[in-house]
């Protein structure tokens, strides 16, 4: 999205104010980005409608940096929808033994998530947890939960062959009461698709257990189908929240927005891997960034705004876009970096720059190193700064001596300047100039 918006916003900035047509053009891109992130069509449409209204209205009051404004409006609205009223972080487990019902399609990650949450409750809240598998369909399903239970040190209900799901639920309730457990978790069977048999079974279990929480587990990689699944389960069984699994994968997490928008039910947790600790409380900011695919660009914009002078930044940007990046530019950048809290923190916020940030860290890009580099640049003549290619051995010796350093250090600086010049050229070609420009203003 950032690539696309880069182009659109470039046009926006040049005009200085948001017209309705500008907003429409930008919103077309936002809509495509949402669909690419697997947000369902009606939800994407609706979202764009809301944001359009807000963006068009906002332009009247603030017209200095319309592009940034649109980015921020889109981002803020995304968070607002994803977050909703603000979901409770903790599971409701008062009145022991509190039943938690886990529902969802087969393979969505119910059993894994049941164990992850049980471990969380045990480790963080010191709760006594009992887990029971109600999955009588798949022969290995009950053993799977028992093995996980052993692994994390959480009790599981002994397996009694021949029982149906409702009978197991009853026995779990009994055992949890007698055994003095705080919580008992019911891991139900799934189906490949929603069907009547599954819904009947889950309803029957719900009626027996009367759960405090009914969590729908959904594979974060499912796209459009997520809405149907969530609507069905919520309508037939009633859910108190959603757990989005496989968010460690390539999925963009659009399912979260769809389900949230359609059911109004909060996303409570996200699964981030197969390991028992790979679960986290849902963070709307992270998922919003992921859906938009733009890193924490909003924070970057805000931070850059505080520090950079617009005029200077514009001048620099024009040069960068042409692929011009000499020692004066480097010095400028180094000094700005010092103000903004180091290169790592800046690059960490830019999409696709995580790797470069790591490299910068490895290269010793701390404040002290930056000061030394600035000293080297200061030791150059005006002509040398503007045209670093002219630096031959004798000039290098003089510059290094002037800064009290050796030539090797100067060579490293020159290499860095070359790399950055190359990067600027590439960024310019990739059409990210617009994005960078946003960032620098
Ligand atoms: P169930 O049929 O709904 O009970 O699904 P399972 O809990 O058995 O999970 C199916 C597969 O998905 C297993 O191999 C799990 O290890 C895997 N899985 C579950 N949650 C996650 C997750 O958050 N990330 C990843 N990468 N794999 C997961
Ligand atoms: Mg299972």
Domain extents in the chain: 2-83, 98-288, 297-440
Average pLDDT over residues 66-90: 76
| Homologous superfamily (CATH) for 2-83 | SRP54, nucleotide-binding domain (1.20.120.140)
Residue 426: band (very low, low, confident or very high) from pLDDT cuts 50, 70, 90: confident
Rounded mean pLDDT of 205-223? 91
- Mean pLDDT confidence for 66-75: 71
- Cα–Cα distance between 195 and 218 in angstroms, integer? 16
Contacts of 328 (CB under 8 A, 6+ apart): 377, 385, 386
Ligand nearest 114 Cα, by number? Answer: 1
- Residue 361 tokens read as 């860290």
**Which protein residues are within 6 Å of ligand 1, measured from CB?**
104, 106-112, 190, 245-246, 248-249, 271-274, 278
pLDDT value of residue 355: 53
Give backbone dihedrals phi and psi of 90, rounded to 5 degrees, phi first: -95, 155
Please give the mean pLDDT across all residues of the chain. 80
Q: Is the pLDDT of residue 96 over 70?
A: yes
Per-residue pLDDT band for 42 (boundaries 50, 70, 90) equals: confident
CA 82: distance to chain centroid?
12
Q: What is the CATH number of domain 297-440?
A: 1.10.260.30
Of all atoms in ligand 1, which is nearest to the CA of residue 217? 3
pLDDT at 206: 96
Is 33 known to sit in a ligand binding site? no
ipTM: 0.99
Q: 78-82, 122-126, 389-393, 416-420: which has the highest mean pLDDT?
A: 122-126
pLDDT over 50 (residue 322): yes
Cβ–Cβ < 8 Å for 172, 130: yes
pLDDT score recorded for residue 114: 98
376 is in an annotated binding site: no
At 137 the pLDDT is 83
The reported pLDDT for the residue numbered 324 is 77
The tens digit of pLDDT for each residue in 376-421 reads: 998 898 889 888 888 899 999 999 998 889 999 999 989 888 887 8
CATH topology of domain 98-288: Rossmann fold (3.40.50)
Residues 206-234 have a mean pLDDT of 89
Q: Do strands 267-271 and 183-187 pair parallel, antiparallel, or not at all (unpaired)?
A: unpaired
> Strands across the sheet with 155-156, in order?
155-156, 129-133, 183-187, 98-103, 213-219, 241-245, 267-271, 279-281
Give the model's confidence band at 309: pLDDT under 50 very low, under 70 low, under 90 confident, else very high.
Answer: low
Q: Which pLDDT value is given to residue 150?
A: 97
**Distance, CA 140 to ligand 1 centroid (Å)?**
14
Q: Give the span between the Cα atoms of 172 and 375, in whole angstroms.
A: 72
């Amino acid at each position: 999205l950032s690539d696309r918006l880069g182009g659109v916003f470039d046009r926006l900035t040049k005009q200085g104010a948001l017209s309705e047509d500008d907003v429409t053009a930008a919103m077309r891109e936002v809509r495509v980005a949402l669909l690419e992130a697997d947000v369902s069509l009606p939800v994407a449409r609706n979202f764009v409608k809301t944001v359009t209204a807000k963006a068009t209205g906002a332009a009247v009051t603030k017209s200095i940096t319309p592009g940034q404004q649109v980015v921020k409006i889109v981002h803020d609205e995304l968070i607002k929808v994803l977050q909703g009223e603000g979901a409770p972080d903790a599971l409701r487990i008062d009145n022991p033994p509190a039943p938690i019902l886990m529902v969802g399609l087969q393979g969505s990650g119910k059993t894994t998530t049941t164990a992850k949450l049980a471990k969380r409750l045990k480790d963080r809240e010191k709760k006594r947890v009992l887990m029971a598998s109600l999955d009588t369909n798949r022969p290995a399903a009950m053993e799977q939960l028992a093995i996980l239970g052993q692994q994390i040190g959480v009790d599981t209900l002994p397996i009694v062959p021949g029982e149906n799901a409702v009978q197991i639920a009853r026995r779990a309730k009994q055992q949890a009461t007698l055994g003095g457990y705080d919580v008992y978790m019911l891991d139900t069977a799934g189906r490949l698709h929603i069907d009547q048999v599954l819904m009947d079974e889950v309803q029957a279990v719900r009626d027996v257990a009367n759960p405090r929480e009914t969590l729908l587990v959904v594979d974060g990689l499912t796209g459009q189908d997520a809405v149907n699944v969530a609507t069905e389960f919520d309508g037939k069984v009633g859910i108190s929240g959603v757990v989005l699994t496989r968010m460690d994968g390539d999925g963009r997490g659009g399912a979260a927005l769809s389900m949230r928008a359609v059911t109004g039910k909060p996303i409570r947790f996200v699964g981030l891997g197969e390991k028992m600790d790979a679960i986290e409380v849902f963070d709307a900011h992270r998922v919003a960034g992921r859906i938009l695919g733009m890193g924490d660009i909003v924070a970057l914009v805000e931070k850059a705004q505080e520090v950079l002078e617009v005029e200077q930044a514009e001048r620099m940007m024009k040069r960068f876009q042409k692929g011009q990046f000499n020692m004066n530019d480097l010095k400028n950048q180094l000094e700005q970096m010092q103000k903004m809290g180091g290169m790592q923190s800046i690059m960490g916020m830019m999409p696709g720059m995580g790797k470069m940030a790591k490299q910068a860290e490895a290269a010793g890009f701390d404040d002290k190193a930056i000061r030394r580099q600035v000293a080297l640049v200061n030791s150059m003549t005006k002509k040398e700064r503007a045209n670093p290619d002219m630096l031959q051995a004798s000039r290098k010796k003089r510059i290094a001596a002037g800064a009290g350093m050796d030539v090797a250090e100067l060579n490293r600086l020159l290499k860095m300047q070359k790399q950055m010049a190359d990067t600027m050229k590439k960024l310019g070609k990739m059409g990210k100039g617009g994005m960078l420009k946003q960032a620098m203003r």
